């Protein structure tokens, strides 16, 4: 219901914008017809009307964009509410169960384990939101140090496997990464970017998880992390948009996957802050996708 109301508002403003522009064009044309012999009013009129028309067009475009962004923030708010409340609901449920029912030792342990996983998830969501606002503000190059990229990625991969209960086959290195690749940056941020890439690939893989990770060093001053999944894929026109804050591709919103729309934004922001970039490739829906994060590398002889 909310969405149709928004769509209606958007349609209204687009129509209004078009009408105003048409009116201005009509006035402009009649002005030209009436004044075509007088050079000064003619030139002045054309310039002024031109300004008016451009202003209106720009205004309409911005308005529509703003409405869209509002919509995305709304769905983000929904998603983050869900992400925060679900683990809390779960922890509370288990705590109440523990206090109100007689349980044997094994069950007790199992419930503690469940609650621990929930707190991890809660912490993850909170960190994600904080990270997203942090990378936007950009805290400069504080705490930058030399990071052993390959071992950092290896650690992140093992962590992701453990957290998501994945087998070695589901998330693995294509070729064992070479050692001695060093990147200058904030290790915590870089790890967060890498983990986000992994989480993303896992989330959008569906049932048939087969994710291959490669570290490539195409030349002396660049290192790339490439994550290939065989998941649901991305439509060509979405390839750039998915890195925008709060943006979620329509097939993931309507369909199967929950998310906040922050993950890839964080990846790209962190990559750019370190002088690199992140991009996605895909043959289309259902064809899987490849994400690459490129970073500058410091070379030591």
Partner 1 sequence: MSRILIVEDEAHLAQGLRFNLEAEGHSVQTTERGEDALTRLVKNHESFDALVLDVMLPGKDGFTVARELRQAKNFIPLLMLTARGRPEDVLKGFESGADDYLPKPFNLAILIARVESLLRRKDWTRGTGNATERPQQDSDLQDNFRFGDKMVDFRNLQLRAGKEVIQLTVMETDLLRYLIKNAGHPVSRKAILQDVWNLHEETDTRAIDSFIVRLRKYIEPKPSKPRYLLTIRGLGYQFVANPKE
Residues that bind partner 1 (CB under 8 A): 1, 78, 81-82, 85-90, 92-94, 96-97, 100-101, 114, 117-118, 255-258
Sign of the dihedral through C-alpha 232, 237, 241, 247: negative
Ramachandran angles phi, psi of 45, nearest 5°? -60, -45
We find the least distance from the C-beta atom of residue 281 to partner 1, in angstroms, to be 26
> In this structure, what DSSP letter does residue 176 have?
P
Instruction: Identify which of residues 118 and 229 has a Cβ nearer to partner 1 in the complex.
Output: 118
Minimum separation from the CB atom of position 92 to partner 1 (A): 5
Q: Residue 268 class from Cβ within 10 Å (0-12 exposed, 13-18 middle, 19+ buried)? A: buried
Work out how close the CB of 4 gets to partner 1 at its nearest, in angstroms, rounded to a whole number. 13
Residue number, 19 or 77, with CB nearest to partner 1: 77
Residue the block writes with tokens 């012999």:
37
Q: Kindly tell me which of 36 and 112 has the beta carbon lying closer to partner 1.
A: 112
Dihedrals φ, ψ of 291, to 5°?
Answer: -110, 135
Closest by CA to 184, choosing from 206, 212, 152, is: 152
Minimal distance in Å, beta carbon 125 to partner 1?
12
Type and span of the H or E element at 106: helix 105-137
Nearer to partner 1 by C-beta: 73 or 179? 73
Q: Is 285 helix (H, G, I), strand (E, B) or coil?
A: coil
How far apart are CB 90 and partner 1 at their closest, in Å? 4
* Cβ at position 7, least distance to partner 1 in Å: 18
CB closer to partner 1, 120 vs 176? 120
Between 224 and 251, CB nearer to partner 1:
251
Cβ neighbours of residue 149 under 8 Å, at least 6 residues apart? 181, 182, 183, 190, 215, 223, 225, 295, 297
């Amino acid at each position: 219901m909310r969405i149709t109301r928004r769509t209606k508002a958007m349609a209204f403003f687009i129509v209004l914008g078009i009408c105003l522009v048409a009116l201005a064009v009509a006035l402009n044309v009649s002005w030209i017809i009436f004044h075509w012999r007088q050079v000064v009013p003619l030139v002045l009129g054309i310039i002024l009307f031109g300004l008016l028309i451009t202003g209106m067009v720009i205004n309409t475009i911005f308005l529509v964009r703003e409405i869209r962004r509002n919509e995305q923030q709304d769905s983000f708010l929904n998603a983050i509410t869900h992400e925060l409340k679900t683990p809390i609901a779960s922890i509370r449920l288990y705590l109440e169960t523990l206090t109100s029912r007689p349980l044997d030792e094994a069950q007790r342990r199992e419930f503690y384990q469940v609650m621990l996983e929930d707190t991890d998830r809660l912490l993850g969501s909170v960190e994600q939101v904080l990270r997203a606002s942090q990378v936007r503000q950009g805290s400069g190059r504080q705490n930058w140090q030399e990071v052993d990229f390959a071992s950092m990625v290896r650690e992140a991969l093992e962590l992701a496997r453990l957290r998501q209960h994945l087998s070695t086959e589901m998330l693995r290195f294509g070729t064992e990464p070479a050692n001695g690749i060093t990147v200058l940056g904030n290790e915590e941020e870089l790890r967060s970017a890498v983990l986000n890439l992994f989480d993303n690939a896992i989330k959008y893989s569906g049932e048939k998880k087969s994710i291959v990770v490669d570290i490539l060093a195409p030349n002396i001053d660049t290192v790339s992390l490439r994550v290939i999944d065989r998941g649901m894929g991305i439509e060509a026109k979405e390839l750039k948009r998915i890195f925008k804050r709060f943006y979620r591709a329509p097939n993931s919103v309507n369909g199967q996957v929950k998310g906040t729309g922050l993950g890839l934004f964080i990846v790209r922001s962190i990559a750019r802050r370190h002088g690199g970039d992140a991009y996605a490739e895909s043959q289309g829906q259902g064809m899987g996708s490849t994400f690459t994060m490129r970073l500058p590398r410091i070379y030591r002889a």
